[in-house]
Structure 1
Amino acid sequence: MPALNGRPVTDLVWLQTSFIGDMILNTAAMELARHEWPAVRQSVITTPAGVTIYHDQPFIDRTFLFAKRKGSVWAALQSTAGAVRAWRDRLPAGSHAVILQAHKSFRSSLVSRMTGLPVVTYRETARIPFFGKREVTLVDRVMPFHETARIGMLLEPLGVTREKIVAARPRLVAPGGQSSITRSLSPESRATGTRIAIAPGSVWGTKRWLPERFARLGVELLARVPGARIVLTGSPDEAPLCEAIERKIGDRARVENLAGKTALKDLPALFSTFDLVITNDSSPAHYAAAVNVPTVEIFGATIPAFGFGPLASRHRVVEAGRLDCRPCSDHGPQVCPQGHFRCMKDIAVEQVLEAGLNLLS
């Protein structure tokens, strides 16, 4: 059993309300904790998207909804913290729960404080003044490490070795039986030998490779890989982008556009059907890692050293040569600050094609 400050811990409560990609990467530490301490219960405070992602995952026993973008933020904070406190009060005698705060925002720190539980979080988060005199254990967010390891560092004060933390990988288990998304695939698609996913979107504009180059890439892949099919994936907001790429590829018999047609709960099952995923620096790279599908990840305004590179056992990174302006921000702005967008325009179709063919071979 883990211990914090000499006291045995029976319950770990993760607080993860960041982006979908971060939620997926957090699964590495969650599964590691379950492997280290099978009897320790694990819960997670998360967003509606997170509730869907963590539902039915074998390492999570309970989810607490934090609807931070719906209605009053203060009401959401009170509701979530109240639910956690009520759950804490119903725990068996002798139980000891600890918050593992993986998201270092103001609101996350506030909801942590309002639960009344001890907290393990990052040293930089402690600058937020809402912790007061509560029991807080601080860890360093070691920047050279991948984000999976930085999240996993929250387990170090509980006794997990850094070697195990660095080695952990994200994992999502597809729900049992045939999901609605795999049932919806055409018979030709299910029977194909090589399924290549192209995920051309991102919330951040300068993380998106050029749509016309994704289209040319699709044409080249269909020409070079016998029997291959292209599957375009993305959110509802990215459906128009994927439709434009689908039209430019042209071969409708060998291209499927699933953008806006896939539920979050079905994505692990969908991604497990792919032989290759080609994506920007965005959540599809992390879905691919969670089911260990070969991945080509294209980096523009951001860089792999930020800690969000591909983690599938077979992967390639494609990025432009050295540019003095790159990286230009943590996430990548919507528009290139320099006006030239060379970080993406300098990446040729041939570079991405070669990386993909190398993985398929």
Structure 2
Amino acid sequence: MAINSHKHILVIRLSAMGDVAMSVPVITGIVKKYPQVKITVLTKAFTAPIFNNITNVSVFKADVKGGHKGILGLWKLYRELQLLQIDAVADIHNVLRSSILKQFFRLSGIPFVQLDKGRAEKKALINADRDVFKPLRSTFERYADVFGKLGYPIGKNEMETMSKKPMSNDFATLLENHTRKVIGIAPFAAFKGKMYPLDLMKKVVLQLDRSESYKLVLFGGGISEIEILASWEKQFKNCISAAGKLSFSEELGFISNLDLMLAMDSGNAHLAAMYAVPTVTIWGVTHPYAGFSPFNQPQENALLSDRSLYPAIPTSIYGNKYPEGYDKVMETIKPETIVQKIVDILKPTI
């Protein structure tokens, strides 16, 4: 396909939050390398703020549970997208919804390239009887492949992080007049297989709190998570819970101003990394070899469960499946190890 033949590209990535965030370095790099290109991102309303203030990038919000639900809703969505005068489509999601949209776009003869998720390779990676254990191509590379097929190749070294965003006044006030490093802690994940035990995470928070060296900001969502983090805020004097207190856009502003983020293999890790915030990740039954490591983070910032004791890791790509006896894999990562990693990253350079 001829390079630079398309000026307005529709990018489809409807969910999940971490996968949407992983598109940012690629999209930001594309519009910097090809300033003549305009990109419209088709995503859900909740994740739309992720793309705020990126040059030549706008968002079209898909209402997949309302007006754009079902075949008729997707037809309506297609007709609405037609009005934007799209030249090509980069489908970096490749799910049933986007595949239906692909059939509609074919009616207009608009080029439509879909993500290769590498399903066979990932299935082989999580096979406990695997003969080969090696890293797969990263999600960033897979996203880049889609743009390359549309005539806009981009290398990993050409991808870009975003600059810090302004913080909301309330939280900016809470953090002013101190010289401590600010650490974000996101202790939750979508599946148990990716979540560090809360009793151990409390030990991490306790050690960091007692050091009197850091300001700790807790991130989470949902009623139970908000309640848990609110109780931690009361227990630890150097702790602030942001859960339930900020809009998503405000939360992004806060994350962009952190000195470090501690998170699971989860969306918060990717949100921090897209702002070039040093990010420490804790991995359970998933593994970085599946290609979901946060952008441009050193390999040593990923703290892994002990595969010599649990050789079947990774047992799943998303952390939703693990064999009997693998529910305690994260206990092989000691709180002291996590704290020491954070201290090493944040210690002053001479």
Partner of 1:137: none
Q: 1:66 to 1:188 in 2, by over 3 A?
A: closer
Q: Distance in 2 between matches of 1:112 and 1:48?
A: 21
> Matches of residues 175-324 of structure 1 in structure 2 within 5 Å?
178-180=166-168, 183-185=169-171, 187-192=173-178, 193-224=180-211, 226-237=212-223, 238-246=225-233, 250-251=235-236, 253-313=237-297, 316-322=301-307, 323-324=310-311
Q: 1:51 to 1:76 in 2, by over 3 A?
A: farther
> Matches of residues 25-174 of structure 1 in structure 2 within 5 Å?
25-60=22-57, 62-70=58-66, 72-88=69-85, 97-115=87-105, 116=108, 117-123=110-116, 144-161=136-153, 164-169=154-159, 171-173=161-163
TM-score by length of 1: 0.81
Unmatched runs of 5 consecutive residues or more in structure 1: 89-95, 126-142
Q: Distance in 2 between matches of 1:341 and 1:59?
A: 45
The superposition leaves residues 178-218 of structure 1 with CA deviations (integer Å, 9 ceiling, x where unpaired) of 443xx112645223321111100111221110111111111
Unmatched runs of 5 consecutive residues or more in structure 2: 119-134
SS for the counterpart of 1:8 is coil
**Offset at 1:286?**
0.9
2:164·2:257 contact (CA, 8 Å) conserved in 1?
no
Percent identical: 20
Give aligned pairs, total: 324
Greater shift after overlay, 206-215 or 115-124?
A: 115-124
SS for the counterpart of 2:100 is helix
Q: Distance in 2 between matches of 1:26 and 1:210?
A: 29
TM-score by length of 2: 0.84
Q: Distance in 2 between matches of 1:310 and 1:6?
A: 29
What's the C-alpha RMSD, in Å, of the aligned pairs?
A: 2.6
Higher relative contact order (CA 8 A, sep 6+): 2
Paired AA for residue 66 in structure 2: K
The superposition leaves residues 278-319 of structure 1 with CA deviations (integer Å, 9 ceiling, x where unpaired) of 110111111111111111100001100111113355561111
Q: Distance in 2 between matches of 1:289 and 1:169?
A: 12
Q: Distance in 2 between matches of 1:168 and 1:348?
A: 36
Greater shift after overlay, 107-116 or 66-75?
A: 66-75
Q: Distance in 2 between matches of 1:31 and 1:39?
A: 13
The superposition leaves residues 231-252 of structure 1 with CA deviations (integer Å, 9 ceiling, x where unpaired) of 10112353133234445xx22x
Q: Distance in 2 between matches of 1:298 and 1:154?
A: 29
Q: 1:228 to 1:266 in 2, by over 3 A?
A: same
Q: 1:158 to 1:118 in 2, by over 3 A?
A: closer
Q: Distance in 2 between matches of 1:229 and 1:79?
A: 48
